[in-house]
Amino acid sequence: MPISSFHSWLKLDLTDKVGEQKDNADLIKDAFTTLKGNAGARGIKGYLANEKKVTMSRRKIARIMREQGLIVQTRKKFKKANSAAINDPKIKPNLLKREFKVCYINQVWVGDITQVKTQQGWMYLATYIDLYSRKVVGWALESHMRSELIETALKRAL
């Protein structure tokens, strides 16, 4: 005669279940720290599936994260604030007045500096562009934003 589900449940050894839950919690903690606290249940599920070859549901991971007090700290993308004041006397007036139509080559050059993230760190790119042909006539790339950067780009343009 088959045993009812209730009686079979009574005979279950719950220590195996507790050990498995502890192993899962340890796996999730390790994944959370490996991913620098920046991944939620979906990210951890993908990490466990790809790196550890462990399959676990997203809801189970979320529940264990809640129980362990693991809260995701998402980082905002770096955005440099514009520090130039409008009334700064060092800033020269805009002579173009947004009139970008030019009739001759080398009549008007415009310059700009931009920040580029590379494997070596942040680099600064200064460029001069001819408004007639829209081609870069001079450029310079340095790890600083001092006046030598602009001077090098201008010398290359000349």
Percent of residues, the chain, with pLDDT higher than 70 = 91
Is residue 158 predicted with pLDDT exceeding 60?
yes
Could you list the residue range(s) of the whole structural domain that residue 29 is in?
16-68
Quick one: what percent of the chain has pLDDT higher than 90?
35
Which pLDDT band, with edges at 50, 70 and 90, does 14 fall under? Answer: low
Do residues 85 and 151 both lie within one domain?
A: yes
Same domain, yes or no: 27 and 44: yes
pLDDT digits (tens, 9 = 90+) for 103-155: 889 888 999 999 999 898 899 999 999 999 999 999 999 998 888 999 999 99
Tokens, residue 16 = 């195996």
Q: In one letter, which amino acid is 99?
A: E
CA angle 88, 91, 95 (to 5 degrees): 130
Give 100's Cβ-side CA count (13 Å radius). 7
Q: Is the pTM of this model over 0.85?
A: no
The residues with which 139 forms a beta bridge, in sequence order, are: 127
Structural domain count of the chain: 2
Angstrom distance (rounded) from CA 82 to CA 28: 41
Tokens representing residue 115 in the block: 């920040």
